[in-house]
Amino acid sequence: MAKALQVFRDTAVEVEEQRLRERQVVLDTIDYGVVILDHELRVRMYNRAFRDLWELPDEVLRARHTLEELLLAYGRRGLYDVPEEEWGEFVARRLGEVRTASTPPQEWHRPDGRVLQYEVVALPDGGRMLTYFDLTRLKRAEEALVHAQKMAALGQVTAGIAHERTRSISSTTSPASRSNCWMNSKNQRRRRSGRRIPPNRRRLSRRLEC
């Protein structure tokens, strides 16, 4: 009987380990960070993306540290831009958010320039699943687009100002140009009229010829 129970336990353990391996394979196919905590907020499972995102060795994560211990380790590495005097309050608030799992997804701007969006999901067994999406490339692309739009708008404003200045100069010089044209035309008429022989002089010329 004892032997049968031992075989049953070994089989159950083996089946559970096989399930965990299968779950691990599935988790590792996800390209964003995932860590699953038990009801005591200890690390139960994690994927490769989470490990690489936090640059933590497997032996540290397999030691089933609590989330609080991980947060302290992150703080020592400077991954949180939190003053030392506010660190205790920050950790307590963060743990409270994970326990309640009632906060919406939030963005986290790390001091190294990376932007992450993290979310807490409550699991049926009382555990928690934390997900971390790396938004760094997306944010940089958005910033580049906004900058391009601002430069395009500035170019349009500059072109409009240049156009208005050109129109203003044209309207200022146009009357003078018209005046010059009028004076030139008048002078030409005077020169032409000066070369003509008046009728009375033509009649006098004819009489003298006779």
Q: What confidence score (pLDDT) does residue 92 get?
A: 93
> What does each of the 210 residues of the chain score in pLDDT, given as a tens digit?
555 545 445 455 455 556 766 777 778 888 899 999 999 999 998 999 999 888 888 888 888 899 999 888 888 777 888 888 888 899 999 999 999 987 889 888 888 888 999 999 999 999 999 999 998 888 888 778 877 878 877 777 777 776 666 776 665 555 555 555 545 555 555 555 555 555 555 454 454 444
Q: Do 46 and 141 contact (CB within 8 A), yes or no?
A: no
Record the tokens describing residue 9, joined without a space: 């336990």
Record the tokens describing residue 80, joined without a space: 């949180």
Q: What confidence score (pLDDT) does residue 22 get?
A: 72
Query: Which distant-in-sequence residues (6+ apart) come within 8 Å of 88 by Cβ?
Result: none
Residue with structure tokens 């067994």? 125
Angle at 27 between CA 17 and CA 138, to 5 degrees: 165
Q: How far is CA 124 from each of CA 40, 42, 98, rounded to the nearest angstrom?
A: 14, 16, 14
Angstrom distance (rounded) from CA 90 to CA 103: 15
